[in-house]
Copies of this chain bind each other. A is one copy, B any other.
Amino acid sequence: MALIDLSKRIALGIDVGGTNTKYGLVNHRGEILEKGSIKTDDYPEVEDFMNALYEKISPLITKYCGEKQFEGIGVGAPNANYYRGTIEQAPNLQWKGVIPFAEMMSEKFSVPCKMTNDANAAALGEMMFGAARGMKDFIMITLGTGVGSGIIANGQLIYGHDGFAGELGHTIVKPGGRKHWSTGSEGSLEAYASATGITITAKKMRAEFPHSMLNSYKEEEIDSKVVFECAQKNDEVAVEVFRYTGQKLGEAFANFVMFSSPEAILLFGGVIKAGDFIMKPTKLHMERNLLPIFRNKVKLVFSELDEADAAILGASALVWEK
């Protein structure tokens, strides 16, 4: 009887984005053996996309994997459904309707394929290879153009009855508040705490305060990066933009903590580059909205995964998920 050497098992991690699709062969220790990418939007037809992907990846599998070593494929994608293995009505992809993506991949590559949304994949990646190693209860929040989330409880991803759990960016933090540019909901976390939300806040506030350094930029130049630069130069309005954002984030975090009582909230994405400008008010307003039994327990932790690799690692972790 041949023993299987666990350290030699290899998975393919794929991160499907609106513009680019990144892929990498990953071993059981979370090392990326080789990676690459193709342009998602070059392929209006999903079949052509899959053929192009196979053409690129198939030689790598031959190069790195002996027999039985190639275990499977994990895919992180927007609006991906874990149970059905589908991408459903993704607004940022050209492929419309319900795409049976996992089944198509599995047939093409002759191995099992699992998929979930990008933030869930990131949470799994952090648990297996990143800052959440050893944690059984934590929440992953990605603060980028949007606000994504993945929830781990009892050591498992929470998928919910339909595979769509963990849309914390769309929870309402201010009933009747700012209208979301895409969902139309009023007062959702994403409307305030995403890079897009921060830009909106900055544009409003600079109009109120003519002395702000933010007014030395053109309207289309204002983004969260510019706000950060102004905050570093002690512009009090830019500082206030992050304080306000942190307050909304902290209030939302308090509610998340009273839901699943995580050991930590892991943060990932461009917005966290604002560091203390956003994290100090976040922490303050989280703590003050918590019941005493939850106070001073929850860690706010930055992701340890390299930003360029996190999505691939996270997706590959799906293959090894219990």
Interface residues of A (CB under 8 A from B): 79, 88-89, 135-138, 151, 153-154, 156, 158-168, 170-175, 183, 185, 251, 254-256, 258-263, 289, 291-294, 297
- A289 and B185: CB pair below 8 A? yes
Whether A161 touches B175, Cβ cut-off 8 Å, given contacts A154-B156, A166-B259, A255-B255, is: no
A168 touches B258 (CB 8 A): yes
Contact check: which of B153, B161, B171, B183 meets A255 at CB < 8 Å?
Answer: B171
27 contacts across the A-B interface (CB closer than 8 A):
A79-B293, A138-B161, A151-B259, A154-B159, A158-B261, A160-B260, A161-B261, A161-B263, A162-B263, A162-B297, A163-B261, A164-B261, A165-B259, A165-B260, A165-B261, A166-B260, A167-B258, A167-B261, A167-B294, A168-B259, A172-B251, A172-B289, A173-B175, A183-B291, A185-B289, A185-B291, A256-B259
Residues of chain B lying within 8 A (CB to CB) of residue A137 = 160-161, 165
Closest beta carbon of chain B to A254's beta carbon, Å: 7
B164 lies within 8 A of A154 (CB): no
Measured between beta carbons, the chain B residues less than 8 angstroms from A289 are 172, 175, 185
Would B162 and A158 count as touching, CB distance under 8 A? Answer: no
Q: For A254, what are the chain B residues with a Cβ–Cβ distance below 8 Å?
A: 171-172
Extra A-B contacts (12), CB below 8 Å, given A89-B293, A154-B158, A259-B260: A151-B260, A153-B160, A154-B159, A162-B297, A164-B293, A165-B261, A166-B261, A167-B291, A171-B258, A171-B259, A183-B292, A185-B291
Q: Collect the chain B residues with CB atoms within 8 Å of residue A138's CB.
A: 161
Q: How many copies does the complex hold?
A: 2
| Bound form: Cα–Cα A292–B294 in Å | 32
Chain B residues, CB < 8 A from A166: 259-261
Residue of B nearest to A291 (CB): B170
- Bound together, the chains give a CA A255 to CA B188 distance in angstroms of 10
The 4 closest A-B pairs by CB, nearest first: A160-B261, A165-B261, A161-B263, A137-B161
Distance to closest chain B CB from A156 (angstroms): 6
User: B residues within 8 A CB of A172?
Assistant: 251, 254-255, 289
Q: Kindly provide the distance from the CB of A192 to the nearest chain B CB, expressed in whole angstroms.
A: 12
Cβ contacts under 8 Å, A88 to chain B: 293
Q: With both chains docked as a complex, state the minimum distance between the C-beta of A4 and any C-beta of chain B, in angstroms.
A: 27
- Nearest CB in chain B: distance from A294 CB, A: 7
